[in-house]
Structure 1
Amino acid sequence: MEGMKTNNVSNNKENNVDLPSKIEKTNSQLESQNFISDLLKKPPTTKIGTFSNDELFVSDLLTLRPTMWLNDKIINVYMRLIMESDMSSIYATNSFFYKKLLSAQNNEIHKWTKNVDIFSKKWMIIPIHLDNHWAVCIVNFIKKTVSYYDSQGRKDEGLLNIILQYLEAECNKRKSGNFSGWRVQHVDDVPKQNNFWDCGAYVCMYALYTCKNLKWDFSDEKMPEIREQILMESLNKKIREPPALIRNRMSLQTSHQHVLLIESAAESQASAIFPQDRRDSQCMAIALYAVVIMCSNDQKNITRRGMDEIIKEGDAYYVSCRNSFKKIPNCPKKFLMSSSDNSVESPPTNILP
């Protein structure tokens, strides 16, 4: 459950902050992480900048801290960023759109989209604020569906019908076409929250993953990282493009008639991310790990980033196997590894306090 109310803050120029041109979270850019940490320590009234029609303050960014409730400004900015990532295919409303529909102010709603032909898009995102909870409706103009996503599994037929009626009125007013074949649905086979504070972050991911056709791979455990992602993308005013999917088949034919090459990962068993004394030794462990992962997942959703993770996890599996040899009596020394090999790269720490 998340609150929508934003804080009233003064627009004091002394409290404004200048952002660097681009902020990224990488292992080699600790300065960016330090900047964000320092930024969140500034007074809540410190102005971050203007994003579309929304002015963001430190108080807004603080709602992205773990266990906090995302406010309407963060939701609206992120919906806008998703839309701007593909203006030809995506249209996103703000969180006040549905409230106007409820108040039967259709004429005012039509003014909001008077310069946009929503039926020329593929997607329309409508964030929904329900008192103390966030949900989202996503319209697919290609499939003629209005889908409701709720991280608590709630259902609301009335809400879906209100949006469907709006679309029909919009179609009749602007296109004078035949509004038929449309259907509404509640989408259940998606990640769900198991707490009381992450529904806003789930809404952001439902919108992003649906419009970008990504595999549902997020959960409560990933929410701290996702909140950081939303924060940095909001500061950068740009959605980080998802990794391109690895092609299942390439045009390059191998010496075997029915074997084609699969696009490789960016890393390899010889990469410098591994200690020198075990590079090029983990091929069987990595291959075995890759076979298990690729057979248990839809290969169409394997990305280059995913392949890099497979190589890292395969290397960790190799380390585990080598360590297990220590328990075998009279095991040849060549199968044993030094204690320096026991280290596996630890994940980056969260930058949000």
Structure 2
Amino acid sequence: MTGTVKDDTGATLLSLTAGGLYFGGSGVGVPLPSTIPDQGASFTKLTSCNSTAGTFSLVATTTADVTGKPGVPAGHENRFCTSAGVVNPEYPTPGPSGAITGCLFGAPLPIPNANSPATSTCVVNRVTTSASGSGTCSTGTSSINIPLASDIYLTGPTDGLIPCPRCAGTPTTCQAGPNAGQPCTPGNSASLGAAFPTSHDCPPAATANIGALPIPFNLSTGSQSKTSQDLSAQPFVFCGFCGQQFAPTFQGPPAIPCTADAQCTNPTFPKCRQRNPGAFGQGPARTITEGGSPAGVCIADQAPHSSTLVSVFCIPPSFNTTVDPAADLPGPGAVALPGQAQLIP
């Protein structure tokens, strides 16, 4: 367990586990958590090192920065860097939100919905604002701000509970999608479930792209939390967006985030609210907390050390009439990413 959802009394409504993605309010119709692909790697660059305090600043890497680094195959540097604006040859066709640029963050993420297979989606995450952050050498603590765009591919109507094309078989080939039958390298473990392994060698069909959600991803080895508000249109609001009072209809796109009704100036969308109150299937949710863990040792030895990065964030509506009711968006999100922290030359 890495986190909790608690009510007003402090009682735990839900325990959050590492390696899982949680999203939506009390009305979420997707079984949670969704499994996050393992084996992903992202490189940031250390700058402004203070040798006295043992602290450092982190900035984004470009494709040139990660060329030749351990585990980075030639020609696929865009899957390991952390800069915005990088061209992704795997996704040449612009989506409804525009060009699919920015270093890729992890392998394609399948979100199968056993309750409604046709609403299953494949999510491709990419960097929209170049990463920045800070850390401490002696303990391995770190904080990394890496805003993402989550491109949503509504593949459930054709692919059901295998929403991202799998990279499987002997030898491994793409099992579906535009590259079906082509050689591929798995980007994660088959043991994660029937929807894995996935790979950027096996992208989903471009025609299934329904748009991108902006995700304010701020990862930390410390603790992160959100507390809900009771607003005029709705109690237990973690992530308010301007909408209508009596219907889950929201201003946009783009969606307008808010913390009070006074910030909603369009008379058609005068109320600050989520789609449904609460978090992750829990109605009377007051707090969401995720706890990360730093390496706990000096990472200057250039060896890998176990670490967990966490983030609690808000997810706007996609404005898709299939996805938003199933995922109960807009609403909160939470994630804990177990992995390793390592300083390399």
TM-score, normalization: structure 2?
0.22
- Higher relative contact order structure (alpha carbons within 8 Å, sequence separation ≥ 6): 2
The structure richer in helix per residue is 1
Max Rg structure = 1
The structure where strand makes up a greater share of residues is: 2
So what's the TM-score if we normalise by structure 1? Answer: 0.22
